[in-house]
Amino acid sequence: MADGEAILTAFAKRLERRFPLTVDDFQAIVALPCSRREIEPNQYLMREGDRPKFCSFLISGLLFRHKIVADGGRQIVSVHTPGDLVDLQNILLGEADHNVQALTAAGVAQIPHELVMDLAFSHPNIGKALWRESMIEASVFREWVANVGRRDARARTAHMMCELATRREAAGLGRRETYELPMTQEQIGDALGLTAVHVNRTLKSLQDEGLIVRSKRSVAISDWERLRVVGDFTSNYLHLGRG
């Protein structure tokens, strides 16, 4: 199978997790033209104010979305793993209202907006799958707002670790007990509304309690159930099932 066809098949399978697709739907997706773009660590895929022309499907590596406020502070609002649709909302919104940047070296498949839009209208099942994808994305954003706004530092950190582990496992990227997390303490702090010093103290506390073991680029979850309880984590907002 050619690289482009394999990527588009993975894209179709992602959408099929959101809504049942027919053989014709699958074939229409696999027939789309797409281009692959490689991104270096810290390179921007998209900046606020850009007018993107492509829908990006993450093939490899990690990306994150963030906003920069007037004093230069950064709030990371999501982390994306392979299999994610990174900028679906820009098909309709036109102008980017946030930044998307590479956390690691990453590869994305880019499909022209107008072709994705045409497919959504000509194949209703695909349209429903894309719609549901955007609704689940909004659900995850709501949970991140609640996490930063109402949980303490220990719970915020545990919750984010549980979410990333669960999403990776659901995407078939490995077991939830061990996964790559190449985020600096500053980046974790920007995702959780904490200082790097507070993040360091919190991670040490979770490790001292026997909940996690963290190396420079990975996390091992030693006690999933206790970490889940500490993080007030349930996976319902991720809507991992279909329907």
Q: Which CATH superfamily is domain 4-142 in?
A: Jelly Rolls (2.60.120.10)
**Does domain 151-238 match CATH 3.10.20.600?**
no
Contact 19, 242 (CB under 8 A): yes
Tally of CB atoms within 10 A around 175: 10
The DSSP symbol for 235 reads: G
For residue 243, is pLDDT > 80? Answer: no
Reported as a single tens digit per residue, the pLDDT across 20-70 is 999 999 999 999 999 999 999 999 999 999 999 999 999 999 999 999 999
Nearest residue to 65 via CA among 49, 84, 83, 79: 79
pTM above 0.85, yes or no: yes
| Domain spans, the chain | 4-142, 151-238
Burial of 224 (0-12, 13-18, 19+ CB in 10 A): middle
Instruction: Summarize pLDDT for 89-112 with one digit per residue, the tens.
Output: 888 888 999 999 999 999 999 999
Who contacts 20 (Cβ-Cβ below 8 Å, separation ≥6)? 125, 242
From the centroid of its chain, how far is CA 65?
A: 9
Do 4-142 and 151-238 have matching folds? Answer: no
pLDDT at residue number 211: 96
Is residue 71 classed exposed, middle or buried when 0-12, 13-18 and 19+ CB atoms within 10 A define those classes?
exposed
pLDDT at 51: 94
Give the closest residue to 157 by CA, choosing from 167, 148, 149. 148
pLDDT by residue (tens digit) across 162-211?
999 999 998 888 899 998 889 999 999 999 999 999 999 999 999 999 99
Is the pLDDT assigned to residue 226 strictly greater than 90?
Answer: yes
Kindly report, residue by residue over 122-170, the tens digit of the pLDDT.
Answer: 999 999 999 999 999 999 999 999 999 999 999 999 999 999 999 999 8
Strand partners, 109: 36, 57
* Element containing residue 109 per DSSP (H, E): strand 106-112
Mapped onto helix, strand or coil, the DSSP state of residue 212 is: strand
**The pLDDT of residue 2:** 55
Give the pLDDT band of residue 242 (cuts 50, 70, 90): low
pLDDT on residue 158? 97
Is pLDDT at 241 greater than 80 in this prediction? no
